[in-house]
Structure 1
Amino acid sequence: MTAQAESLFNSLGAHYEAAFGMDRELQSFIRLVAKTIPPRSRTLDVGCGTGKPVSEILASAGHEVHGIDISEEMVKITKSQVPGEFQVGDMKTYQPSTLFDAVFAIRSLFQMSACDMCSMVMRFSQWIKVGGYVVLGVTPSTSLAPKNTTYDPTWDCTWMLDKLWMGNHVDDLFLSEERWCQLLRESGFIVEIEPVSYLFSPASQEHAPEAHYIVLAKKVEPEPLLGPYPLPRCLKPLEFQDREDFFADRLVSKDLEKLVEDIGDSPDILCIGKDLLNGHFQRRKSRFVDHPIEDLPFAPRTFQTVLALWQMDYVLNMERTIQEITRVVGGPSPKIVIVQGGPYNEVVKLLTSVARSLPVGHQGHILHSTRRYLTKYGFGNITVHRIDASYEFQEASLPERCAAAADFLTGIWHRQHPQREKIKEALVERLKLLFRADAHSVSHGMVAIVARPSLDQGN
Structure 2
Amino acid sequence: MKESKDVYKIYDKIAGWFHQNRGQDLMEKAYLDFVLEKIPQDGKILDLGCGTGKPILAYLLSLGRSVVAVDASREILKIAAQNFPEQAFILQDMRNLDLPEKFDAIIAWHSFFHLPAADQQSMFPIFKQYLNPGGMLVFTSGPDEGEAWSRLNQEDVYHASLSPTDYEHLLKANEFIVLKKALEDPTVGNASVWVCQRI
Q: Same fold, TM exceeding 0.5?
A: yes
Q: Out of 57-66 and 13-22, give the one that drifted further.
A: 13-22
Residues 20 and 175 (structure 1), Cα distance of their counterparts in 2 relative to 1, 3 Å cut: farther
* Separation of aligned partners in 2, 1:195 and 1:115: 23
In the alignment, structure 1 residue 109 sits paired with structure 2 residue 88: no
Report the Cα offset of residue 48 of structure 1: 0.7
2:183–2:190 Cα contact (<8 Å) kept: no
Quote the Cα distance in structure 2 between the aligned partners of 1:138 and 1:16.
Answer: 20
Going from structure 1 to structure 2, the CA distance change for 1:214 and 1:110 (only over 3 Å counts) comes to closer
Q: State how far apart, in whole Å, the 2-side matches of 1:185 and 1:132 are.
A: 15
The corresponding residue for 2:33 is: 31
Matches of 1:63 and 1:31, distance apart in 2: 12
Instruction: State the secondary structure of the residue aligned to 1:21.
Output: coil
Indicate whether 1:216 and 2:195 are aligned: yes
Please say if residues 181 and 192 of structure 2, whose CA atoms lie closer than 8 Å, have aligned partners that are also in contact: no
Determine if contact 2:69/2:88 at 8 Å carries over to the other structure.
yes
- Answer yes or no: is 1:127 the counterpart of 2:113: no
Contact 1:92 1:120 in 2 (8 A): yes
Q: Do structure 1's residue 176 and structure 2's residue 163 form an aligned pair? A: yes
1:71 to 63, 69, 73: 73
| 2:42 paired residue number | 40
The normalised TM-score by structure 2 is: 0.85
**Amino acid of the structure 2 residue aligned with 1:212:** A
**Per-residue CA distance 1:114-134 (angstroms, 9 max, x = gap):** 221111122111111111111
Larger Rg: 1
User: Given the superposition, is the C-alpha separation of residues 71 and 14 from structure 1 closer, same or farther in structure 2, using an over 3 Å criterion?
Assistant: same
Q: TM-score, normalized by length of structure 1?
A: 0.39
Q: Quote the sequence identity (%).
A: 26
Partner secondary structure for residue 215 of structure 1: strand
Q: Please report the RMSD computed on the Cα atoms of aligned residues, expressed in angstroms.
A: 2.4
| Secondary structure of 2:113's aligned partner | coil
**Contact in 2 for aligned 1:79/1:86 (Cα 8 Å):** yes
Aligned residues: 195
How has the CA–CA distance of structure 1 residues 170 and 14 changed in structure 2, closer, same or farther, with 3 Å as cutoff?
closer
Structure 1 pair 186–86 and aligned structure 2 pair: CA distance change class (3 A): same
The one-letter amino acid paired with 2:147 is W
Q: Distance in 1 between matches of 2:92 and 2:8?
A: 10
Deviation at 1:39, TM superposition (A): 0.6
Relative to its length, the structure with more strand (as a share) is 2
Give 1:138's aligned residue: 141
Match of residue 159, structure 1, among 119, 142, 147: 147
Distance 1:18 1:200, change over 3 A: farther
Return 105-114 or 93-102, whichever deviates more: 105-114
State the alpha-carbon separation in 1 of the partners of residues 195 and 5 from structure 2: 30
Amino acid at match of 2:185: Y
Kindly indicate whether the alpha-carbon contact (under 8 Å) linking 2:26 and 2:56 is maintained by their aligned counterparts in 1. no
TM-superposed CA distance for 1:8, in Å, is: 0.7
Matches of 2:110 and 2:137, distance apart in 1: 14
CA distance in 2 between partners of 1:26 and 1:51 (Å) = 13
Structure 1 distance, partners of 2:158, 2:136, is 29
Instruction: Give the structure, 1 or 2, with the largest relative contact order (CA under 8 Å, sep 6 or more).
Output: 2
After TM superposition, the structure 1 stretch with the greater mean CA deviation from structure 2, 23-32 or 119-128, is: 23-32
1:30–1:57 contact (8 Å) kept in structure 2: no
- What's the CA shift string for 1:378-400, capped at 9, x where partnerless? xxxxxxxxxxxxxxxxxxxxxxx
CA distance in 2, matches of 1:50, 1:121: 24
